[in-house]
Structure 1
Amino acid sequence: MNTIRERIAQRSLLPGDRLPSVRALAGSMKLSPATVVDAYERLVAEGTIQARPGSGFYVSNAVLQPLTLMKAQTPEARAIDPFWVSRQSLDAAETVLRPGCGWLPPDWMPQAALSRAMRAVARTQTGIMTDYGNSRGSPTLRRLLLSRFSEEGISASPEQVMLTNTGTQALDLICRYLLRNGDTVLIDDPCYFNFQALLKAHQVNLVSVRYTQSGPDPSEFEAVISQHRPRLYITNSALHNPTGATLSPQVAHRVLTLASQHQVTIIEDDIFADFEPEPSPRLAALDGLNQVIRIGSFSKALSASIRCGFIAARQEWIEGLVDLQIATNFGGPSPVAAEIIAHVLTSGGYRKHMEELRRKLAHARQDLGKRLEALGIRPLLRPRGGFYLWCSLPGGVDAAELAQAALAHGIVLAPGNVFSLSQNAANLMRFNVAQMQDKRIDAVLADILTSR
């Protein structure tokens, strides 16, 4: 009975859907047919399902409930729930320290350049503060993106690029466009935890592949897609989140070959591209935007408040995605945000800002690595760039328990299993090096670890 209720709650069974036959369910659950009949009859009595003589059992039209995404009820479950961890970071008071969050501190961002861009855009562009934007987004920013793609070796036309409100919305639109209820999606293990959160909202089946220092394990990748036939594979190529790993050319070619053989579309989230000291292999560049869709945004490098994402893909897919964005958002992203970002990118200060940011982050990674090792916390690898260190905790310490204890001291951490579909990262933790500047965090971690 609980199994049927759960399938209905997760919307894998919808009102009017036919339930498995008594014989089929009995076989799959290794129960006697009499037990299944009894369960079905009880569900009929409570109004959850309906019996149709000669046809079978069907989900009642009266059972549709609002979609519930966060199901964690206990502190232990909440510590590794993507929604709960996101809420802790987003809703934290200014006094709360957030080494588990996924963005840079305000004083690391180009606030003066953003202010100048805001004034310039408001002064020079008539109607921008009041009108809807272009359905594909700012032509100026799209031209800049095409120029950046060209530097990577990606030849794309203006018809292959569109802007979105955020990078997350870009992924959401693609999932709406390409996925149907019950499809299977492949993600990395570990992976950016909001990939899991968003895909839960799309009610798809999730499978994962182990992510190594050079990318997804090729043998496991082949085995998973052969067995589960996923519709999509979603990944980061540059400075993988949370591991900081870099995709190798050999793994990139193997992944593309396997994806082509099994007709798997790849979504490559390239949000950390500008944090690399030198470009690493990109699936979109190797593929030429045939089977790979490139998404990204500027929220990590410029502003998480003035947000704008993008999608680069086949022209026919972009046409469909533009229509979908009109249906769900009535047009593209805020023209104000897009023009501000374009202004910053062309002002000459962006490259200097990123050079300084990479320098600061390199120093912060080195400094934090030493501080963490003094606590017995060891980075699994030394990333080429970015602001994450993926670390193992000492002596089998459970990361979720450590995160719960730290939260009581006003510190938000990101335990490993929030990133892991397989829940194989209980002893791991992701640290944001830019958000670890306050040495009080070290003292709290030392106290907690000593007490255990």
Structure 2
Amino acid sequence: MEARLSSRLDTILEDKVRDIRSGLHGPGYKLPSLRQFAIEQRISKSSAVEIYERLVALELIEARGQKGFFVRRLRGDSRHKSPVNEALALEAPRRGRRSLLKYHPSGGWVDAQLLPSDALRSALREASRAPLSDLMSYSDCQGYLPLRNLLSDRLLRAGIEAGPNEILIADSASMAIDLICRLLLKPGDTVLVDNPTSLDFAALRRLHLANVVGVPFRDGQRDLDKLAELVTRLRPKLYLMASVLHNPTGVNLPAAQAFDLLSILRAASVYVVEDDVYADLAEEPTTRLAALSGLKGVAYVGSFSKTISGGLRCGFISAEPDIIEALATLTLDSSFGLNSLTSIIVFKLLKSGLYRRNLSVLRNSITRMRLEMIRSLREAGFEVPIEPEGGIFVWARWTGAADASLIAETAGKRQVLLATGPSFSPSGDFGQYMRFNCTLAKGTAFWKLFREILADAERSVCKGGA
């Protein structure tokens, strides 16, 4: 009996060590209380104490007084990480293994069933008929010229005047932002982001060793007084933000606030990266900083992965000519060119008119799904403090006793991956919040399972406090 118990404890310990060292539980992650851990693992409290003591001895976790046990930063890991980033840590090891999940209701993409698959197949056939020089040769260092000409026309309709020489094609919006950061940042530079902000923006600390600082985002608007104070005190190099369908709240930048925001940033020479990857999902005309500024001090980033295909990686940057030239040189030095085939496919699809027709159907479907999701979340016990103005996301607050990390951990055991509020915050705030995607979180079976997860998480809190 003792041998079997020892083997069982060793197995549990090995699992926890693997979870921590793989990044599944990142630095700052709070472990369950001893009582809760014992219940979850079906072991005695003394056995739970033994496992935690062994994890402390391995310097993987640490006790913080009455607050509980937390994962430590691993030795030799000098990367700057968000203090609480559970959902991002969960996402990383599973990004390529979605087939192991039952549901991924927090993902950042549109459900593939809503995307223009027939139009994409048609564009693929059209692209195969392109001249051999386009299909077989290395691309222009700024990207496929016909697509840049087309993008110039599309940007003009959004009020952004940008010629082909002010546009660079990238293999994704993520690559575009990474290129800008590599060009303009050095380790230790301060970057401002909204708080909350996109998961990609929150990861800058890790990718570029930047000092990432959040600008308070309350009631759908940025705190401009705090922004002015941060700009004066920290002298940031960049401000990464989304004017349209802010991620994760789904609201747009008010026109009146846009002028004041741009004035504050211009006065301090803070360069703006305006991420507009959800632009084509917007239901109403919206102000862009790139349009107000004439691209002076602003780089505008777009993408088609959200509205055509996540597998078709194609994004772009619009900026002043000297910035575009420097980014093109950086692209040439790092990869000797771009993926011209995807650019040809996107060009053929946009020219066909099928893309525009599908967008109307897509927006209508998303609007219906978003309203259904808000209703379902409220019925399940969530609040939606900020009503989204469009897009796929709903930013919701759980009103029960369990925090988002406990709900996410409970969901993970049921093969459901959730994105918790602290993952969207450079300071680890929003502990009761989660981001939901209305095109992925749907169906009677999902909501039945999700309600069970919420009930299990609440019971864990009650048992832990008993």
Give the TM-score, by structure 1 length.
0.81
1:446 is the counterpart of 2:451: yes
1:271-282 pair list within 5 angstroms: 271-282=277-288
Query: Which residue matches 2:361?
Result: 356
1:108 counterpart = 2:117: no
Match of 1:56 in 2: none
Distance, in Å, in 2 between the alignment partners of 1:450 and 1:410 is 16
Partner of 1:258: 264
Deviation at 1:178, TM superposition (A): 0.7
Map 1:273-422 onto structure 2 (within 5 A): 273-331=279-337, 333-422=338-427
Q: Residue 94 of structure 1: CA displacement?
A: 5.9
1:123 alignment partner, SS class: coil
The CA distance in 2 between the partners of 1:70 and 1:185, in whole Å, is 14
In structure 1, runs of 5+ residues without a counterpart are 1-63
1:160 aligns with 2:166: yes
Q: Say if 1:71 and 1:359 are closer, same or farther in 2 by CA, change over 3 A.
A: closer
Letter in 1 for 2:274: E
User: After superposition, where does 1:127-166 map in structure 2 within 5 Å?
Assistant: 127-166=133-172
CA pair 163-83 structure 1, distance change in 2 beyond 3 A: farther
Q: Is the 8 A contact 1:88 1:412 kept in 2?
A: no
Q: Secondary structure at the match of 2:149?
A: helix
User: Contact 2:204 / 2:212 at 8 angstroms: preserved in 1?
Assistant: no
SS of aligned partner of 2:138:
coil
Counterpart CA distance in 1 for 2:80 and 2:239 is 22
> CA–CA distance in 1 between the matches of 2:379 and 2:220?
27
Which deviations, in whole Å up to 9, do the C-alpha atoms of 1:6-27 show, x marking residues without a partner? xxxxxxxxxxxxxxxxxxxxxx
Q: AA paired with 1:345?
A: L
Q: Is the 8 A contact 2:273 2:300 kept in 1?
A: yes
Counterpart-to-counterpart distance in 2, 1:85 and 1:222: 34
Q: Which residue of 1 aligns with 2:86?
A: 79
d(CA) in 1 for partners of 2:106 and 2:218? 22
| Distance in 2 between residues matched to 1:213 and 1:281, nearest whole Å | 18
Q: Give % identity.
A: 32
| Distance in 2 of aligned mates of 1:182 and 1:79 | 24
Q: CA deviation at 1:89?
A: 4.4
Residue in structure 1 matched with residue 61 of structure 2 by the alignment? none
Partner of 1:200: 206
C-alpha contact 1:89 1:100 (8 A) present in aligned 2: no
When structure 1 is superposed on structure 2, of 404-413 and 125-134 the one drifting more is: 125-134
> C-alpha displacement at 1:71, in angstroms?
9.2
RMSD of aligned Cα (Å) = 1.9
Task: Answer whether contact 1:138 1:163 (CA < 8 A) is retained.
Answer: yes
Q: Deviations over 1:350-393 (max 9, x none)?
A: 11111111100010011111111111112222222110000010
- In the alignment, the residues of structure 2 paired with residue 172 and residue 262 of structure 1 have an alpha-carbon distance, to the nearest angstrom, of 23
Amino acid at match of 1:236: A
1:406–1:444 contact (8 Å) kept in structure 2 = no
Letter in 2 for 1:139: L
Q: Mapping of 1:207-226 within 5 angstroms?
A: 207-226=213-232
- Which residue does the alignment assign to 1:174? 180
CA distance 1:160–1:403, change in 2 (3 Å): same
**2:131 paired residue among 125, 134, 144:** 125
Change (3 A) 1:421 1:68: closer
SS state at 1:357 partner: helix
Deviations 1:173-211 (A, max 9, x none): 111111112111111100001112144211111111011
Shift of 1:422: 1.8
Instruction: Find the aligned partners of 2:262 and 2:255 in 1 and give their Cα distance.
Output: 11
Q: Is the 8 Å Cα contact of residues 165 and 309 (structure 1) preserved in structure 2?
A: yes
2:462 is aligned to: none
State the secondary structure of the residue aligned to 1:187.
strand
CA distance in 2 between counterparts of 1:95 and 1:411 reads 6
Q: 3-state DSSP class of the match of 1:162? A: strand
1:430 equivalent to 2:435? Answer yes
SS at match of 1:252: helix
* CA distance in structure 2 between the aligned counterparts of 1:71 and 1:262, rounded to whole angstroms: 26
Moved more, 247-256 or 390-399: 390-399
Letter in 1 for 2:320: R
Alpha-carbon distance change, 66 to 450 in structure 1, aligned in 2, over 3 angstroms: closer
One-letter code of the match for 2:398?
Answer: L
Question: Is the contact between residue 100 and residue 432 of structure 1 (CA under 8 Å) also seen in structure 2?
Answer: yes
Per-residue deviation at 1:65? 6.7
Report the TM-score, using the length of structure 2 for normalisation: 0.79
1:169 and 1:103 map into 2 onto residues whose CA distance is 16
Q: Mind listing any 5+ residue stretches in structure 2 that lack a counterpart?
A: 1-74, 459-466
1:425 is displaced (CA, Å) by: 0.5
Q: CA deviation at 1:441?
A: 2.4
- The one-letter code sitting in structure 1 at the alignment partner of 2:208 is H
1:214 Cα deviation from its structure 2 partner: 4.0
